Amino acid sequence: MARRPGVDFRVPTEEELDALEAFQLFAGRQAPKDFTQSIPTDPRAQNGQNLFFGTGCTFCHTDLLGFVDQNPNFDTGVANLTPDLPDDDGFLSPGDRTFNVPPLVEAADTPPFFHNNAVATIEAAVGFYDGDTFNNSPAGKLLAGATGGPLELDATQIQAIASFLRVLNALENVRSSLVALELAASGRVDEKRRNDELALAQADTHDAAKVLEGASLHPQAVAHLKGAGRAIHRAQRGWYSRAQRLQEAIDLLKKARAELVEGA
> Are 173 and 71 members of one domain?
no
> Are 110 and 141 members of one domain?
yes
Q: Which domain holds residue 183?
A: 167-260
Asked whether residue 80 is assigned to any structural domain, the reply reads yes
Beta bridge partners of 100: 73
Phi and psi at 77, nearest 5°, equal 85, 0
Given a contact cutoff of 8 angstroms between Cβ atoms, the answer to whether 163 and 221 are in contact is: no
How much is the pLDDT for 224?
98
> Which of helix, strand or coil describes residue 72?
coil
> Are 121 and 231 members of one domain?
no
> Are 59 and 82 members of one domain?
yes
Q: Indicate the burial class of 220 (C-beta count within 10 angstroms; 0-12, 13-18, 19 or more).
A: exposed
Asked whether residue 9 is assigned to any structural domain, the reply reads no
Nearest to 255 by CA among 234, 225, 233: 225
> Are 76 and 149 members of one domain?
yes
> Are 84 and 149 members of one domain?
yes
Enumerate the H helices of the chain as residue ranges: 14-27, 43-54, 122-128, 132-135, 138-147, 155-186, 191-213, 219-237, 242-260
Asked whether residue 194 is assigned to any structural domain, the reply reads yes
Asked whether residue 237 is assigned to any structural domain, the reply reads yes
Asked whether residue 10 is assigned to any structural domain, the reply reads no
- Rounded to the nearest 5 degrees, what angle is found at the Cα of 163, between the Cα atoms of 89 and 180? 80
How much is the pLDDT for 186?
93
> Are 131 and 50 members of one domain?
yes
Asked whether residue 22 is assigned to any structural domain, the reply reads no
Per-residue pLDDT of the chain (264 residues; tens, 9 = 90+): 666 778 888 888 999 988 888 776 665 666 778 899 899 999 999 999 999 999 989 988 888 998 876 668 899 999 999 888 877 655 556 677 888 888 899 999 999 999 889 999 999 999 999 999 999 999 999 999 988 888 899 999 999 999 999 999 999 999 999 999 999 999 899 999 999 999 999 999 999 999 999 999 999 999 999 999 999 999 999 877 999 999 999 999 999 999 999 987
CATH classification at residue 240: 1.20.120.660
> Are 51 and 73 members of one domain?
yes
> Are 48 and 140 members of one domain?
yes
264/256 Cα distance (integer angstroms): 9
> Are 126 and 177 members of one domain?
no
> Are 250 and 148 members of one domain?
no
Asked whether residue 254 is assigned to any structural domain, the reply reads yes
Q: Indicate the burial class of 77 (C-beta count within 10 angstroms; 0-12, 13-18, 19 or more).
A: buried
How much is the pLDDT for 88?
65
Asked whether residue 84 is assigned to any structural domain, the reply reads yes
> Are 140 and 176 members of one domain?
no
- Based on its alpha-carbon atoms, the radius of gyration of the chain, rounded to whole angstroms, reads 20
Which residue, 117, 134, 155, sits at the end of a domain?
Answer: 155
Domain count for the chain, please give it: 2
